[in-house]
């Protein structure tokens, strides 16, 4: 087992987040990207077996205010992480969990969902670049994982004087 409850420790604390996302992720050939800034706070839960984050932006996707919450839990029996997400974009809904693990500081997580009635596979890639920066990338596959199209990138940086 390469994953552990400490895998996401790099993410604990306060972050500024530069977001870049495809406006129409179901039409990746369109190529129209939008960018917006957000703030994130990540806290440990369950004696370090998980964490939560809150990410918010006054001018999020489509220029609208945005808030999201993530719950990440480590399953020590299976040696995997599960990630759940909810946001103001779809209030009252908790997305199906993403499941995955870390190898050499790179976390890869997979899930399945329907977006606008279209079944897709989803992939998250997490990278702890150093103590002050991290990257999250979301990709969709429309062909059962043969090809992945990146549709959202989040670059995390610690604000000056923040807790890490």
Question: pLDDT tens for residues 82-139?
Answer: 999 999 988 889 999 999 999 988 999 999 988 888 889 999 999 998 889 999 999 9
The pTM assigned to this predicted structure is 0.91
Cβ-contact 66, 57 below 8 angstroms: yes
Name all domains of the chain by residue range, CATH numbers in brackets: 9-157 (2.40.128.20)
Structure tokens given for 8: 């996401």
Q: Backbone phi, then psi, for 123, in 5-degree steps?
A: -130, 135
pLDDT digits (tens, 9 = 90+) for 20-55: 999 888 887 888 999 999 999 999 999 999 999 999
**How far apart (Å, rounded) are the C-alpha atoms in residues 41 and 27?**
31
């Amino acid at each position: 087992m390469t994953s552990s409850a400490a895998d996401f420790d790099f993410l604990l604390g306060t972050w500024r987040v530069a977001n870049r996302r495809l406006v129409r992720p179901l039409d990746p050939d369109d190529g129209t990207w939008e960018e917006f800034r957000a703030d994130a706070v990540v806290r440990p839960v369950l004696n370090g077996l998980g964490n939560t984050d809150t990410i918010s932006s006054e001018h999020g996707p489509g220029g609208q205010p945005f808030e999201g919450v993530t719950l990440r839990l480590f399953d020590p029996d299976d040696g995997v992480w599960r990630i759940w997400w909810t946001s103001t974009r779809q209030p009252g809904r908790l997305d199906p969990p993403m499941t995955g693990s870390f190898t050499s500081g790179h976390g890869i997580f997979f899930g399945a969902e329907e977006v606008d009635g279209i079944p897709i596979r989803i992939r998250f890639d997490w990278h702890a670049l150093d103590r002050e920066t991290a990257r999250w990338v979301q990709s969709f596959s429309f062909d059962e994982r043969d090809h992945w199209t990146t549709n959202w990138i989040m670059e995390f940086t610690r604000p000056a004087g923040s807790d890490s």
